[in-house]
Amino acid sequence: MSRYQDVRASVARWANEQYRIIQDAGTELNDAGVDLARSVGVLEPTRIRVLLVDEVPIMDDPAILNLAKSVGMMNGSVLGMTFGHSIYIARGFKSVRLYSHEFRHVYQYETFGSLEAFMDEYIQQVLTFGYSKAPLELDAKEFEVE
């Protein structure tokens, strides 16, 4: 198995675990949240669950963490992270801008059809362009609402 496939498999496993945790413990969106999600393209906003956490969990695999840092990810506080219709938001950082950005990632997941398909493309983009210039990140930034 190639190094990329190892990384992909490990990240996909971890992402699926996070998805389940948030779906089980997260809260549904209120009406304003549903409207905001729809405004950035989300097709099924009522499936979204949000879990507020003191700190957004990060994979504990040192090799993957180092790889993420090398492409500009995880170089500061992580305020939000999306896994399909599941979103972590760091307490104290809730904002319309952050929610709209994460909701756009939900839309992207919906477009790709699965967590795995999205992760494949996202990882490839981040490794190719870097985190801040990855097309999926640029798209999410374009849909941020102030």
78 pLDDT exceeds 90?
A: no
CA 119/CA 14 separation, integer angstroms? 11
Tell me the whole-structure pTM to 2 decimals: 0.91
DSSP 127: H
* Counted domains in the chain: 1
Q: Give the 3-state secondary structure of residue 1.
A: coil
35 contacts 73 by C-beta, under 8 angstroms: no
Contacts of 100 (CB under 8 A, 6+ apart): 36, 39, 40, 143, 144, 145
CA 14/CA 123 separation, integer angstroms? 14
Q: Which of 2-16, 62-76, 107-121 has the lowest mean pLDDT?
A: 62-76
The arithmetic mean of pLDDT across residues 30-50, rounded, is 98
4 contacts 103 by C-beta, under 8 angstroms: no
Q: Which of 39-43, 70-74, 95-99, 130-134 has the lowest mean pLDDT?
A: 70-74
The residue segments making up the domain with residue 26 are 3-142
Picking from 80, 84, 67, 77, the residue whose alpha carbon sits closest to that of residue 131 is 67
